[in-house]
């Protein structure tokens, strides 16, 4: 470690991830190329060391795809991803394997993320042995240590996932990710499938581990409140693009993209006085196979004008790294401040 570590742990530049729809045998023989779906469509951002970047978006926004692409699970069709200054190339199996010791992932569904035929001990032990994290003789002790780290007792090692509750499984999933002692974690909706009382336990655990182990985290979620709780910075995705990014506090106090504003107003709160009124954003998220022209949010945007239908909006810098991809970002921010966004809050 003579080389000075770069400030950004992860840097993404103009990333595009495409999927090809499957073809019939006839199409295959005739050489017809498959339809392409751009799940992530030109995304750039960095994640600084010890930072938690929250990534919010609705289904179809491409947030999960983006998270998986960072780990090299999907290939970048265009653009590049660098981790600690070195490019990630999904096609280089050997390089990726070495990288796995530095970056890991926790999944959403606690019921499918553990192999039902392996005990907790086998699952964790396999990681330790495969990556030679510790001596073979110490595997059992290390498994116990990992379980303790995530707040489980050592005797859980003998259990199969079917004997665990959702919260316990999620802790095991976390222990599996931490087994290789990574410094970067992608958490893909880690609490979305849990009951609220258990969700709070896991969120607190994640905070503790982040501080204790000095982790850098990409936290993917659809729930703004959870993201706000966990993140120092925030990125909002819509249909494959980041529409707004910046410090979490800045975005929550002055959201400058109409979509972010809509999301924030739509989130239900624990305030009975804020009795439900008219829906904030109309319409559905369009299919990624038929992306609208110009700004892809324009069909749902309350402030859309002709310019929005014609031209892709530029990224507008709003200071301190706060950026919004909207033709009228400043106006949107002013409107929000004037109504203090608020009035509804």
Partner 1 sequence: MGTDAARTASRRAGSGEVVLEVSGLVTEFRLAHGTIRANADVFLRVRKGATLGVVGESGSGKSVLCRAILRLIPSPPGFVTAGRVLFEGRDLLTLSERQMRRVRGTQIKMVFQNPMTSLNPVWPIGDQITEGLRVHYGLGRAAARRQGIELLRQVGIPSPEARAREYPFQWSGGMLQRAVVAMAMAGEPKLLLADELTTALDVTIQDQILALLLEIQERTGMAMVLVSHDMAVVAETCDEVAVMYAGQIMETAPTKALFNDPKHPYTVGLMNSIPSVERRDDRLLPIPGQPPDLTRLNPGCPFAARCSHASPDCAETPVALREVGPAHHSACLYPERIGA
Partner 2 sequence: MTALTARSISAAFAVRGEIGRWSVTMKVGVSIVGLIVLAGIFAPVVAPYNPYFQDYDQVLLPPSWDHLFGTDMVGRDLFSRVIYGIRIDLTVGFIITYVPMIYGVALGALAGYFGGTFDVVLMRVLDTAIAFPFLVLIIVIIAILGPGVHNIYIAVFLVAWTMYARLARAEMLVERNKDYMLAARTLGYPTSRIIFRHALPNIINSSIVFSMADFVLNVLLLSGLSFLGLGVQPPEPEWGAMVAEGRDFIFDAWWICTLPGLAIVLTGTGLSLIGDGLSQRLGQRHQTIL
Binding site for partner 1 (CB under 8 A): 58-59, 165, 167, 195-201, 203-204, 207, 222-226, 228-229, 248-249, 252, 262-282, 284-285, 345
Binding of residue 97 to partner 2 (CB under 8 A)? yes
237, β-bridge pairs: 242
Which of 4, 31, 116, 196 binds partner 2 (CB under 8 A)? It is 116
280 binds, among partner 2, partner 1, none (CB under 5 to 8 A by kind): partner 1
The site map against partner 2 for 178-197 (x = CB under 8 A) is: --x-----------------
284 binds, among partner 1, partner 2, none (CB under 5 to 8 A by kind): partner 1
Provide, rounded to whole angstroms, the least separation between the CB of residue 262 and partner 1. Answer: 6
Identity of the residue, 122 or 335, whose beta carbon is nearer to partner 2 in the bound complex:
122
Q: How far apart are CA 140 and CA 154, in angstroms?
A: 10
108 binds, among partner 2, partner 1, none (CB under 5 to 8 A by kind): partner 2
Long-range pairs for 329-337: beta carbons < 8 A, 24 or more residues apart: 329/256, 329/257, 330/256, 331/303, 332/255, 332/256, 332/257, 332/258, 332/261, 332/303, 333/254, 333/255, 333/256, 335/303, 336/254, 336/255, 336/256, 336/261, 337/254
Question: Are residues 171 and 158 in contact, defined by beta-carbon separation less than 8 angstroms?
Answer: no
Residue with tokens 């709003």: 318
Binding range to partner 2, per CB under 8 A, among 54-62, 95-103, 220-228, 237-245: 95-103
Binding of residue 169 to partner 2 (CB under 8 A)? no
> Read out DSSP for 264-276?
HHHS--S-TTS--
Residue 184, helix vs strand vs coil: strand
266 binds, among partner 2, partner 1, none (CB under 5 to 8 A by kind): partner 1
Binding of residue 104 to partner 2 (CB under 8 A)? yes
User: Can you count the helices (H) and strands (E) in the chain?
Assistant: 12, 12
């Amino acid at each position: 470690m003579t080389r000075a570590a770069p400030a950004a742990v992860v840097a993404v530049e103009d990333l595009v991830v495409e999927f090809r729809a499957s073809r019939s045998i006839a199409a295959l023989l005739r050489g017809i190329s498959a339809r392409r779906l751009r799940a992530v469509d030109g995304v750039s951002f960095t994640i600084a060391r010890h930072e938690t970047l929250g990534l919010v978006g609705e289904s179809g926004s491409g947030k999960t795809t983006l998270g998986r692409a960072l780990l090299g699970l999907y290939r970048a069709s265009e653009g590049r991803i660098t981790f600690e200054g070195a490019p990630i190339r999904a096609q280089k199996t050997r390089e990726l394997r070495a990288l796995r010791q530095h970056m890991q992932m926790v999944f959403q569904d606690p019921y499918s993320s553990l192999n039902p035929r392996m005990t907790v001990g086998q699952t964790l032990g396999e990681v330790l042995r495969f990556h030679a994290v510790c001596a073979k003789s110490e595997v059992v002790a290390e498994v116990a240590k990992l379980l303790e780290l995530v707040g489980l007792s050592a005797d859980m090692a003998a259990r199969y996932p079917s004997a665990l509750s959702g919260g316990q499984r999620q802790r095991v999933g976390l222990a599996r990710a931490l087994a290789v002692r990574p410094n970067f974690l992608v958490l893909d909706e880690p609490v979305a499938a849990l009951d609220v009382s258990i969700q709070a336990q896991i969120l607190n655990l994640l905070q503790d581990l982040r501080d204790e182990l000095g982790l850098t985290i990409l936290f993917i979620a659809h729930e703004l409140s959870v993201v706000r709780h966990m993140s120092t910075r925030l990125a909002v995705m819509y249909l494959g693009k980041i529409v707004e990014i910046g410090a979490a506090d800045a975005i929550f106090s002055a959201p400058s993209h109409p979509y972010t504003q809509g999301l924030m107003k739509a989130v239900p709160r624990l305030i009975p006085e804020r009795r439900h009124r008219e829906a904030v954003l109309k319409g559905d998220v369009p299919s990624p196979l038929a992306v609208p022209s110009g700004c892809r949010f324009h069909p749902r945007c309350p402030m859309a004008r002709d310019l929005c239908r014609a031209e892709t909006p530029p990224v507008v810098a709003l200071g301190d790294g706060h950026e919004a991809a909207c033709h009228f970002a400043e106006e949107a921010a002013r409107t929000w401040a004037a109504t203090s966004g608020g009035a509804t809050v």
